[in-house]
Amino acid sequence: MLNSSEPDSFEEAIHTDNKDAWCKAMEDEIQSLKYNETWQLQDLPPGKQAILCKWVYRIKYNADGSVERYKARLVIKGFSQQKGIDYEQTFNPVVRNATIRTLLSVAANEKMHLMQFDVSTAFLYGKLNEDIYMKQPEGFLMIQIKCAS
């Protein structure tokens, strides 16, 4: 039986009984970000500040309570940015409840079947006008070494 606790940090993740599963999840996340060309590794330009990031770990469960998969997401600590210096405006697209009710009503009237799905990299499709500099995540260069030991 696997220990199904979610680590709070990279160090915790690589020192749990489920180290291999967490390492695979982190590798998958890095590969997804590379595949989608979301970043370029480069030196920090003069006058720019790199934003910190962190790993967030979650265990996804099946309906019967068994572990479906281990998921690691790399998130940027955007709260450290300052308006007017690091960005000019924020935008977070959200759907209104009335829109959801309308969609469900149309689907019911037309006898359509609805289904749910998860787009694991949906946030990658947003376009930024600014250049964002982020520090490398903990374990970025050492994931394979630490995870292999």
The mean pLDDT of 128-144, rounded to a whole number, is: 76
Reported as a pLDDT band with limits 50, 70 and 90, residue 3 is very low
C-alpha 125: how far from chain center: 13
Residues 6+ apart with CB under 8 A from 144: 27
Cα-Cα end-to-end distance for the chain:
22
User: Would you give the DSSP letter of residue 90?
Assistant: -
5 within 8 A of 16, measured Cβ to Cβ: yes
Could you give the 3-state DSSP secondary structure of residue 75?
strand
Per-residue pLDDT, 2: 43
pTM of the model: 0.67
